A and B are shown apart, each in its own frame.
Chain A
Amino acid sequence: MIRSDALLPILVMLPLSLALLLLLSGRWGRFLSLAGMVLTTALAALLLSHGGQPLHHAMGGWPAPLGIGLRADGLATLMVMMTALVCSAALIYGEYWFDGAKAEQGRQFRPLAWLLWAGVNALLLADDLFNLYVTLELLTLLAAGLAALMATQAALTAALRYLMVALIASTAFLLGVALLYGATGTLALELISIRVAANPQPVLVVAMALMVGGLALKAALFPLHGWLPPAHGGAAPPVSALLSALVVKASFYVVLRLWMGPLAPLTGGVGPVLGVLGGMAIVWGGWQALRQHNLKMVVAYSTVAQMGYLFLAFDLLQGAGYASALNGMVLQAVAHGLAKGAMFLAAGALVVAAGGYRVDQLQGMASRQPLAVTALAVAGISLAGMPPTAGFAGKWLLLQAAWLNGQWLWLAVMLAGSLLTASYLLKVVAVTFLPAPVAASVGCGQRLGGVALMLALLALLAGFAVMPMLQLLAPVATTGGWL
């Protein structure tokens, strides 16, 4: 019987070793990948069954200041599970997508996606600031590589631009880490928390601004979002799904961790700033999504808007609404991961079937690609925060938090954002009901749409598992997340 905290290193090492194996193996790659997927998801479920009790693991038996620590609480557990589901869906989808002429890209996609999985898990389970930095950096490089996979001019440009922006962001973050290290003499998050609380110096505010600013850039927070739509909209669908569902979410996760932990005493003035930017992201991203004619750009701008909710929630994370806001933002993050992943996968299936990216080419898809259209619609319902989805639960809790704190403006912005979301998705879904112009159907089965639908249904079903999920978060909500 292995100790349960041994799960943590396995959750990182297993995807990592698979990625390396997949670099080598040729014909057996598909099966290896599938088996690994099942195993890793099962391990994530095992972690979930632990009920959110905090787990610590010191790699190699070396305790915190010296060795590398891993830790998992309810929040990390939930995110690990979401990651497993999204990665599995994207990998399965990738098997169908990178088919025939694209087989070469597929051989590159598999190991990169597995590395990304390992990286995201490592970030979610990291227990010190340096590991957070390293994993963030790793994700940036992988994301750029994945975005460039399509090897078209536009994709390469977008990937390169993303890399530049993300490196600037990393530099800012690293500078912040260095300042924090200088002031507190440690990188272990728990120790930093204690030392910052004991002695909040002005230099720490600068450190915080640099770190949060860098992360906001990586998370495409308005007005730093310009790089995201071309990079996510131009990538191959399974890649877009991974980037939008996981990579931007990882930066948000780091902000949340720091917010509740080391930087908690310093957040006072920053909350409203993030709130304003988040609110503007909701409105601007939604408005831009409404104006797009390219299906994948609609979905990409939707990510900008939805990340806005997550950042706006930092301003709700106070006073009477604290617990609701925390629960709401985590649910929103999980729901957005599942729904946005599903949405990019569905968009990919529709683009193939329609033979083009434009929304007005989607005529007749409701009958030709019913699974993909259903996936798009169900995911959209979750994004718009309509019941009975996980997205509804998240929005409901965020609205409740705004109400408890008396933040009426944010309440109105979030409600308006829901209507905007519904509008741009309706615009897309409505076209699919028009009769198809010509019977010339591009040879494409329902498999891509089917995978997308699976993920979308998870976003729907998660709406009925809200209470168990919140139970996992209960210790995080009461202790402020840092034990």
Chain B
Amino acid sequence: MSDAALLLITVSCSLVGGIVIFLLPEQQRGWRTAINLGAALIKILCLLLIVGAVLNGQVLSVRLPFLPGADLVLRADAMSLLFAILSALLWLVTTIYAIGYLEGAPHRRRFFGFFSLCVTATMGIALAGNLITFFLFYELLTLTTYPLVVHRGTPKALAAGRRYLAYTLVGGVVLLTGVLWLQQLLGSVDFSHGGVVSVLADSHRPALVAIFALLIGGVAVKAAVVPLHGWLPEAMVAPAPVSALLHAVAVVKAGAFGVVRICYDVFGIEYAASLGVLQPLAVMAGVTILWGSLRALVQSDLKRRLAYSTISQASYIILGVALFGPLATIGGLVHLVHQGIMKITLFFCAGNYAETLGIHAIDQLDGVGQRMPLTTVAFTIGALGMIGVPATAGFVSKWYLGQGALAADMGWVLWLLLASSLLNAAYFLPLLHRAWFRVQRQPWPEEHIPRRPGRETSLLLLLPPLVTALSVVMAGLWAGAPFSPLVWAQLITALEYRP
């Protein structure tokens, strides 16, 4: 198969799937499931083929004419694959979860249709080969996630959707301005390792600082960097699979990935450091990490606490980028994956609690470990990972970030990481304590799925969090194994820092 076809199929298989799902009648549950899973599997297969090629040192790309001086470019390099594989795998898991979660709910056709379009957009972001392509899919992601956020159709959901679009559309305009400006200076801006802007004369440096601010400002909205994070906690009214998608697979991750792309492959990390823009970025990330954790502490709603935790954790990725140096880069990139699998585990579990027992508030968790042991084990693994306990994925990320901070001679970051870990512990450990060590004091709010021997909830809801929790442990224990996220992140880092 030619490179072009491979890349186009990778991006478009979920697009076609989504369109077919829209055309199928609502009742065609079996076909819809088959298309969902089929498209997810085709996508993973294509990505495996691409991985093979990339490991041989190839960079696949396809170029389509789009606008004068701005082609659509899809390009698979090591960095795009990191994000593409993460979202393809998590999409599969989330789809399975969503099928179980939405059992019998109305408007499933609409839900799964937009779900597929959303993944198309995410895949496009991952494989975008230049800024204009990135922007195109980035906006597409905004538009396709809106129907998912407002899926429940309640006034609260609509308010959340309005807020979401208000933030992201303004962010999109800011990003567009940056893209346009850079386009005037450089012509078409294809991503490339080590950056592309360093060819410009020194007189453009002030402009480049402004462009950096515009581009990062645009993507920081989706990455939920404080103070642009307001939409994320509100968006928690969406169904649990959507939260998982927003936090771990698509939206927040797309923003963080955007920061990574812009810093490394547009500006080049060394050039960005010489512009002096990384220091402010690090401070922004640091503030977000602390603010998100502090806000998480005071939330009484489980999903809102997780949402603030995402705000905090996503900025680890940005911090890793902003700390100039290979070790921190490894930490940031690997956290892109690790945060994804840990957070999706937590959201799956929160969804299970809500869907099985009607638990939404934290003080309703007492004794849930007895009732739903497997889910609670998965939740515990995810939470411990977030805290950064050794033998979990989170530890690996923090280890490299800490090393990177030392190497970059930025001691305050170590304190920041320490403080954040303590805060994470402070808001996650009480949950675990309630779940495992307290006894149930009140009846479950609404028991939707009755207990059956050996089965705490429906199988489709139970398996996904167990799989992702297992991967959290594996990524922590076998961090050095071939194809682990860590090894892949090291590979990318080696490309970004030229000898």
Contact = CB atoms under 8 A, between A and B. Distances in A.
Interface string A343-369: 000000000000000000000001100
Contact of A397 (B68, B140, B150): B68
Interface in A461-483: 464, 466-467, 470
A419 interface: yes
B184 interface: yes
Contacts of A386: 139, 143, 172
A456 to B, nearest CB: 14
B68 A470 contact: yes
A125 B466 CA distance: 68
Given A400-B183, A430-B158, A327 B68 contact: yes
Given A387-B136, A403-B181, A433-B150, A419 B68 contact: no
Contacts of B172: 386
A435 B143 contact: no
A36 interface: no
Interface residues of A, number: 30
B353 interface: no
B480 interface: no
Contact of A426 (B65, B155, B165): B165
B122 to A, nearest CB: 15
Interface in A392-445: 393, 396-397, 399-400, 403-404, 411, 415, 418-419, 422, 426, 430, 433-435
B180 A400 contact: yes
B169 A422 contact: yes
A381 interface: yes
A386 B176 CA distance: 10
Contacts of B136: 387-388
A434 B153 contact: yes
A387 B158 contact: no
B135 interface: yes
A387 B133 CA distance: 10
A2 to B, nearest CB: 33
A399 B180 contact: yes
A466 B173 contact: no
A403 B169 contact: no
B478 interface: no
Given A400-B184, A467-B65, A467-B68, A433 B173 contact: no
Contacts of B67: 393, 396-397, 466-467
B66 interface: yes
Contacts of B458: none
A367 B106 CA distance: 10
Contacts of B181: 403
A272 interface: no
A452 B97 CA distance: 35
Nearest to A327: B68
A434 B158 contact: yes
Nearest to B150: A433
A381 B110 contact: no
B155 to A, nearest CB: 7
B34 interface: no
A422 B135 CA distance: 17
A226 interface: no
Interface string B462-482: 000000000000000000000
A434 B170 CA distance: 24
Contacts of A418: 173
B180 A403 contact: yes
A370 interface: yes
Contacts of A327: 68
B147 A433 contact: yes
Contacts of B140: 387-388
A381 B143 contact: yes
B205 interface: no
Interface in B49-90: 65-68, 70
B175 to A, nearest CB: 11
A403 B155 contact: no
Interface string B407-440: 0000000000000000000000000000000000
B66 A467 contact: yes
A36 B217 CA distance: 53
Contacts of B151: 433
B153 A419 contact: no
Nearest to A426: B165
Given A386-B143, A399-B180, A464-B66, A430 B150 contact: yes
Interface in B289-332: none
A73 B359 CA distance: 67
A397 B143 CA distance: 22
B382 interface: no
A149 B134 CA distance: 47
Contacts of A400: 180, 183-184
Contacts of A397: 67-68
A419 B173 contact: yes
Contacts of B68: 324, 327, 397, 467, 470
A335 to B, nearest CB: 13
Nearest to B109: A370
19 contacts: A324-B68, A327-B68, A366-B147, A367-B106, A367-B107, A386-B143, A396-B70, A397-B67, A399-B180, A411-B177, A415-B176, A419-B169, A426-B165, A433-B147, A433-B157, A433-B158, A433-B161, A434-B155, A470-B68
Interface of A: 324, 327, 366-367, 370, 381, 386-388, 393, 396-397, 399-400, 403-404, 411, 415, 418-419, 422, 426, 430, 433-435, 464, 466-467, 470
Instruction: Pick the 10 closest A-B CB pairs, nearest first.
Output: A387-B136, A467-B65, A433-B150, A433-B153, A430-B158, A386-B139, A435-B153, A415-B173, A387-B139, A422-B169
Interface of B: 22, 65-68, 70, 106-107, 110, 135-136, 139-140, 143, 147, 150-151, 153, 155, 157-158, 161-162, 165, 169-170, 172-173, 176-177, 180-181, 183-184
Given A396-B180, A419-B170, A433-B147, 4 more contacts: A386-B139, A426-B162, A433-B151, A467-B67
